[in-house]
Amino acid sequence: MFSIKTYKLYGLSETANNGEFREYYNKVLNQEVTAYVSVVNLAEVYYVLCRKLGRMKAEKIVKDVIKSGYYEIVGVKPRILKYTSECKCKYSISLADCSAIGTAKFLSAKALFRREKELIGVNEVVEFIN
């Protein structure tokens, strides 16, 4: 099981074709693993898509993601809030990134990220894909 960062959720099928994320994508599609997405990360997907594609298209895509059954949507729980806040206090990374990390920590899972300079040194529950 793993928690997916916004980039991975948005680009899951896009990156599957180039092999960067194929292994995880196939496991999600084959229901071999459970992929978790925090509501904060889902909100980030929505607003990024809204800016790029417009509100109606963004809404449709997010609804399709939710209805697909491939992802477990995780709400904000007190411990996730605590872990997310502690991450944000400790690291200069986005709140959405910390939400993925806090959710993963709560679930005893890994948070999947593309290796980016902002995340260097964040070793808690992070797994880099690339």
Residues 6+ apart with CB under 8 A from 78: none
> For residue 65, what are the domain limits?
2-128
pLDDT of the chain, 130 residues: tens digit per residue: 455 555 455 555 454 455 656 777 777 788 888 888 888 888 888 888 899 999 999 999 889 888 988 888 999 899 999 999 999 999 999 999 999 999 999 999 888 887 888 888 887 788 887 6
pLDDT of the residue at 65: 85
Give how many domains the chain has, as a whole number.
1
Q: What pLDDT is recorded for position 8?
A: 54
Angle at 127 between CA 12 and CA 76, to 5 degrees: 75
CATH of the domain at 113: 3.40.50.1010
